[in-house]
Structure 1
Amino acid sequence: MSDEQPPSRNSPQKSWVDKISHLLTGEPQDLEDLLEILREAREKRLLDTDALSMIEGVLQVSQMRVRDIMIPRVQMVVVPKDAELETIMPLVTEFGHSRYPVIDGDRSKVVGVLLAKDLLARILENKTLKVHEIMRLSCVVPESKRLNVLLKELRTNGNHMAIVVDEYGQSAGLVTIEDVLEQIVGEIEDEHDDHEDEGYIFQRSSNEYMIKALTPMDEFDEYFSTHLATDEYDTIGGFIVSQLEHMPKKGESLIVGAMKFEVIRVDSRRVHLLKLKIIE
């Protein structure tokens, strides 16, 4: 057995032996080598930017875990297991999701999943039916599960959503197959997204707005009569990252004066959508 150790992916610099070996073999020795080859291919126009971005996303997904992208339980839209179907219709209509975690008492105890299509089919038969009578079993995964493994399991089992549990078996949040795919292909918008508007800024109420992260700073300042633009960033998404000094996670918030920003959609490379609430 050879005593040689494989080159570390985290090594800041390769030794001269590694460099010579790479030159002689022409093969990537680690993940960073592989990415460098792919980026060179893009520069030579053998790959386009979108293709490279997706390949990078695939490679990154294999290293990320469920906890990195899950929706925290405090942000889950849930329904009580003992609620009558008629009483939850306003909530289902308001949010327009296809699936809702069913809880027993509080959000840490998810006991099933309610499908909107099941609700619509059964409510016509009997409005007084309880949620627990038509809910389905939930797919449960640990926070530590790798995203590539989760994606394979969701596809194999035909599940679109999984409940994430912590080390004590309590609900920590949820993750959908769309959340995982967005780490590979970027933002996926659907017909229920409020922000699917021709402009950058969509007003939801008198003090709440949905804002695309690509909104130019000049346009943001003009709309809200602010003076946030500088030469350091061009968009409101860049402003948020600059203020936080890291790539935020979904649900992370930032208060600037009388404005509270909340990150609604983000992938491993950039912020996509923000919610802005004017604090009264």
Structure 2
Amino acid sequence: MTKYYLMLALFFGLSAFFSASEMVFLSANRIRLENSAESGSKLAALALKVITNFDNTLSALLIGNNLSNFALSSITSVVAITLSGGSSRLTAAFAAVLTVFVIIFCEAIPKILAKQNANSLVIFLAIPVRIVTLVLLPFVLIVVGIVKIITFPLKGNEEITDEESAALELQTIIEIAEDENVLDEDRSELLQSALEFFDVSASEAMTARVDMAAVDIEDSLDEILKEIEDSPFSRLPVYKDSIDNIIGVLYQNHLLRAMLDNPNPDIKKLLVEPLYVYKTVKMPQLLSSLRAAQKHIAIVTDEYGGTLGIITMEDVLEQIVGEIWDETDEVEDEVVERAEGVFELDGDMVISDFLDLIDRDESEFPCESETIGGWTIERFGHFPKVGDSFKFDNLLVTVLEMDGHRVERLLVLESPTEE
């Protein structure tokens, strides 16, 4: 009987090892491991390799755990039958005791201890777990292949790329850090904005064509100076015949400096060649283009080459740090929460920000426009009047302000959804 008791102890230990290893590699701090690996720790590098290929590792650990538990069950049955003299009741009692022991000592306690000490245990378990994975690799490949065959019909058409997966992982880490008071709210928002920065397009951050300040090359000097005086911008696009034909950018300081030498300077000689960007270009690429061209302003165009608006270096930076106000800006909050679930919104608020506000997914929010004002016009099917309202799911949207054909302010009432 001694050999059976030794085998029981062996497989109890193996079962606990597999359970603990699974929890350790699920809970270990990857960033800490990366820092240790960069400092020269070979064990940390191996542990990182195990985590990187965790699908195979997890399959190996689960197979090993199931084999250990199966062996435990078989050996216990032999021991129980031998000790009980074949009594079915005693055999059943042994089986019940084994089940309790496995749950407590091979599952619960190892996993609790492993989670509490994951960062220290991961180094020591890296080699044995790697060996187990290699030994069980043939079985792992069979299991993984079967799983792929079974899950293939369930896969969607769109797969998450490595970049998207990494972004989602970082977003989750930031949210957890804020919940655990590791990051304050301001720093958390800054990091979230930095992540979203990569998805924001030029058309979402630009000053729209209707809000642009621009001058015609045929305008008189007095008209140009008046436009500069009325405009909050220090750089003005200059067009010929049509705003779709921008021929340059006039810098206010260049004009004023030239006027010191000549009261009526040649405007054409003062123009700086414009930088054009397409409406879908993302913020990182746009920032690189502005820096490479050493410019602070770019003209945003559509697929027909027409002018959609302008975007400045300040607009780009605001996507990370939030609105930057100066003494010439008329401060107006984009979102005013009047009460719980009641929001007053600026019509120029981009759809992605609105979806974040109401916690909706883009897939369940059909919209061709890029702003909440444009979406409102879409829903009406015509240009609304002040006081007009419509319902969308649990949202009641009311037009508060119009500027010609443009929706300036909206009131959105969000009703609780039924579970």
TM range (shorter): 0.5 to 0.7
Note the C-alpha offset of 1:185: 0.8
Question: What TM-score, normalized by structure 1, do the two folds share?
Answer: 0.65
CA 1:194/1:250 → structure 2, altered by over 3 Å: closer, same or farther? Answer: farther
AA in 1 matched with 2:341 = E
Alignment correspondent of 1:232: 341
Note the C-alpha offset of 1:88: 1.3
AA in 1 matched with 2:26 = L
Q: Is the 8 A contact 1:139 1:161 kept in 2?
A: yes
Moved over 6 A (4+): 19-22, 238-241
Alignment correspondent of 1:12: none
Alignment correspondent of 2:333: 212
CA 1:125/1:107 → structure 2, altered by over 3 Å: closer, same or farther? Answer: same
Runs of 5+ in structure 1 lacking a partner? 1-18, 196-210, 218-229, 263-273
1:4-43 equivalences under 5 Å are: 23=26, 27=30, 30-43=166-179
1:174-253 equivalences under 5 Å are: 174-195=310-331, 211-213=332-334, 217=338, 232-233=341-342, 236-237=344-345, 246=354, 249=371
SS at structure 1 position matched to 2:324 = coil
Q: Is the 8 A contact 1:71 1:251 kept in 2?
A: no
CA 1:239/1:152 → structure 2, altered by over 3 Å: closer, same or farther? Answer: closer
AA in 2 matched with 1:237 = L
Note the C-alpha offset of 1:255: 4.7
Note the C-alpha offset of 1:178: 1.0
Distance 1:151 1:97 in 2: 19
Distance 2:265 2:215 in 1: 14
Distance 2:347 2:313 in 1: 29
Alignment correspondent of 1:5: none
SS at structure 2 position matched to 1:151 = helix
Count of residue pairs brought into register by the alignment: 216
Tell me which moved more, 184-193 or 44-53.
44-53
Q: Greater Rg, structure 1 or structure 2?
A: 2
Runs of 5+ in structure 2 lacking a partner? 1-21, 31-161, 356-369, 377-383, 388-398, 410-419
1:6-155 equivalences under 5 Å are: 23=26, 27=30, 30-155=166-291
CA 1:49/1:128 → structure 2, altered by over 3 Å: closer, same or farther? Answer: same
CA 1:239/1:116 → structure 2, altered by over 3 Å: closer, same or farther? Answer: closer
CA 1:212/1:275 → structure 2, altered by over 3 Å: closer, same or farther? Answer: farther
AA in 1 matched with 2:314 = E
Distance 2:402 2:324 in 1: 21
Structure 1 or 2: larger strand share? 1
Q: Is the 8 A contact 1:86 1:128 kept in 2?
A: no
CA 1:213/1:68 → structure 2, altered by over 3 Å: closer, same or farther? Answer: closer
Q: Is the 8 A contact 2:354 2:372 kept in 1?
A: no
AA in 1 matched with 2:243 = R
Tell me which moved more, 109-118 or 166-175.
166-175
Distance 2:201 2:400 in 1: 32
SS at structure 1 position matched to 2:199 = coil
Q: Is the 8 A contact 1:85 1:130 kept in 2?
A: no
Note the C-alpha offset of 1:46: 1.9
Larger RCO (alpha carbons 8 Å, 6+ apart): 1
Note the C-alpha offset of 1:116: 0.8
Percent identity of equivalent pairs: 27
SS at structure 1 position matched to 2:248 = strand
Q: Is the 8 A contact 1:85 1:127 kept in 2?
A: no
Distance 1:275 1:115 in 2: 30
Alignment correspondent of 2:396: none
Cα displacement string for residues 95-127 of structure 1 (whole angstroms, at most 9, x for unaligned residues): 131111111111111111011111212234334
AA in 1 matched with 2:333 = K
SS at structure 1 position matched to 2:261 = coil
Which of 386, 391, 394 is the matching residue for 1:256?
386
Note the C-alpha offset of 1:84: 3.0
Q: Is the 8 A contact 2:236 2:251 kept in 1?
A: yes
Q: Is the 8 A contact 1:73 1:108 kept in 2?
A: no
Distance 1:159 1:45 in 2: 40
Structure 1 or 2: larger helix share? 2
Q: What CA RMSD, in Å, does the superposition of the two structures yield over aligned residues?
A: 3.5
